[in-house]
Structure 1
Amino acid sequence: MIAVAWLGLPEILAGKALPVPIWLLSLASGIQTSLLLAVAAFAGARLAPGVGLQAPALSALAESRAPWGALGKQLVPGLCGGLLGGALLWTISRLAADVAAPLQGVVLPAIVRILYGGVTEEVLVRWGLMSAMAWVLWRVAQRDRSKPSSWIFWAAIAGSALLFGMAHLPAAFAMAGAPSASLVVYIVGANAAFGLVAEHLFWRHGLEAAMIAHLLAHAVLMHCRHKSSCDKLSQNFRARVCLIQPPHAPDVQRNNLGWPGKMRASPGQSTPPLTAPNPECVAARRWPWRCSTE
């Protein structure tokens, strides 16, 4: 966790005036997260089995048994949940693109998203927090029942999802300074929406299904954002090409790679003048362009 904080925190606090060195903040953040992780792991181990929540594959490992059978049963639900969650988050981010603009400049390393999001947050929020909320609600509202009813889990899912969304606010404050009310609603709402997906998977299938979904959701988001960046680069490239070759140019020489070369006018025609890019040129031309770099 210290290594993850060491990689992620400098990206979040880049360009900010800090009262202490960044390495000291990273060290303190890593220690704090490690302590919270230990508390959540202990709470989940003590309370989750009592309400019927489980981590089958991790339990098998703890008992020196092969985890593959338990993990295989959670694979399909986890993959489906990850695709759903990733598509949901991407759709929300596109619909609220203007609201989320202050956060667009910060790109966390993939290893931070995978380890912190897919593992740490699941142990903290699902295994620790949701298990504790379900256990407390059960002991307070249904002491006379041998196991909690469905509404106990739905209440725990809703409460922990809301807290999961709110837990992302400190990082947003660090990145955006004083965020607007609409940005706060976006951050809490988007993360809580995914929290509902992950927590339902935890309830119905197990902690590993929620972990798989969280990992895949981050992979979907990284792919979509990379593709969006590539599309913007391609669009800019085609616009620049149109500065050299206007639409409906008479004849165009091309080199052996297919790139536009020097324009040549047909007999009796003058060479078309350079023009600014226009929507017809940008949309209609299909240059052999492929974005293959980050």
Structure 2
Amino acid sequence: MNKNKLKLWLCLSLIGLLGVVSLLLSDLPLPDKEAVAQLKDIDPLILKFMLLVNPFMIVTAAAFLGSLVYDKVGLRVPLFERMLKIREDVVYSYRSVFVWGVTGGVIAGLLIVVVNSIFTPLLPSEYLNLPQSGEFSMITKLLYGGLVEEIMMRFGLMSLLVWLLSKAMKGVNGWMFWVANIVSALLFGLGHFPALLTFIPDPTIWLYIYILLANSVAGIVFGYMYMKWGLECAMCAHLMAHVVMYIML
């Protein structure tokens, strides 16, 4: 890893750390009762910090992988590249990143609202009546969702998938970005199934479809923002989507 990539990795890791630490502002779900019994002598604040280790390691690894390959397939982190003096030919402006990010965020937020409206009548009451313990605070949703998840899913996973496809096909083609975008979004949605099964042992097919769509449809929009205007635009869109959902749901 050269000096420029090292700077970008460290910068994005610090940003990821900010998002991970924001989890402390939320009511984090604790381990099962047996694990809690074994940890009863540990200070609750220390226990919360222990729960942050895994997400920080993952976002750091994603930032590392993304830093290695993102520019090899033409993806960009334009504002950070300019700020860190990695590239001198950056043509994106703060205004364009913000405008397109807000636009994409509104679209993504509305898509989630539509999915929620369509599927709510089809969802089992046991899911709709789940207690809200462990619910993230708005600050956590903005910082963890907008920063950490974008570094993980777009900069890390999506960049890596495009690079692997380009190696397999011996060249970069536009369809590769869409395949990587859709796959990374769907994997994020599928990643919510284990948590679902913890609360609902026997989910209906509609609940599976809802969880998959609700957690992946916006990711495709964020991936498009990343393809067209860079990682910062995807982050801005993710932040704005949470604002839209907060207002409308």
The bucket for the TM-score relative to the shorter chain is: 0.7 to 0.9
Equivalent pair of 1:56/1:71 in contact (CA under 8 Å): no
CA drift at 1:167? 2.4
Any stretches of 5+ residues in structure 1 without a counterpart? 226-294
Q: Which of these residues, 132, 150, 175, is aligned with residue 151 of structure 1?
A: 175
The question of 1:105 aligning with 2:107 is answered no
Q: Which residue of 1 aligns with 2:149?
A: 121
The residue that corresponds to 2:220 in the other structure is 196
- Give the structure with higher Rg (CA): 1
Counterpart for residue 180 of structure 1 = 203
Give the whole-Å Cα distance in 2 for the aligned partners of 1:7 and 1:63. Answer: 34
1:79 corresponds in structure 2 to 102
Q: Give a deviation string over 1:214-269, Cα, whole Å, max 9, x none.
A: 001101111123xxxxxxxxxxxxxxxxxxxxxxxxxxxxxxxxxxxxxxxxxxxx
Q: Given the alignment of the two structures, is residue 53 of structure 1 paired with residue 81 of structure 2, yes or no?
A: no
CA distance in 2, matches of 1:167, 1:30: 18
Supply the distance in 1 between the matched residues of 2:33 and 2:119 (Cα, whole angstroms).
29
Residues 76 and 231, structure 2, Cα contact 8 Å, conserved in 1: yes
For 1:129, give the aligned amino acid: L
Give the helix-richer structure, 1 or 2. Answer: 2
Partner SS for 2:117: helix
Question: Given the superposition, is the C-alpha separation of residues 85 and 122 from structure 1 closer, same or farther in structure 2, using an over 3 Å criterion?
Answer: same
Please tell me the root mean square deviation across aligned C-alpha atoms, in Å.
Answer: 2.7
**Cα distance, 1:102–1:172 mapped onto 2, change above 3 Å:** farther
Is the Cα–Cα contact under 8 Å of residues 47 and 132 in structure 1 kept in the other structure? yes
Q: For 2:74 and 2:144, locate their aligned partners in 1 and report how far apart those are by CA, in whole Å.
A: 26
Alignment partner of 1:7 out of 25, 36, 42:
25
Q: CA deviation at 1:177?
A: 4.2
Higher relative contact order (CA 8 A, sep 6+): 2
C-alpha deviation, 1:158, in angstroms: 1.4
Distance 1:72 1:171, change over 3 A: farther
The number of residues matched between the two structures is 218
Contact 1:125 1:164 in 2 (8 A): yes
CA 1:65–1:203: 2 relative to 1, 3 Å: closer
The amino acid of 1:76's aligned partner reads V
Q: Structure 2 unaligned runs (5+)? A: 1-16
TM-score between the two structures when normalised by the length of structure 1:
0.66
Greater CA deviation, 67-76 or 104-113? 67-76
Aligned-residue sequence identity (percent) comes to 30
How many Å apart are 1:211 and its aligned residue? 0.7
> Aligned partner of 1:74: which letter?
V
- 2:100 aligned with 1:88: no
**Do the aligned residues in 2 keep the contact of 1:165 with 1:187 (CA within 8 Å)?**
yes
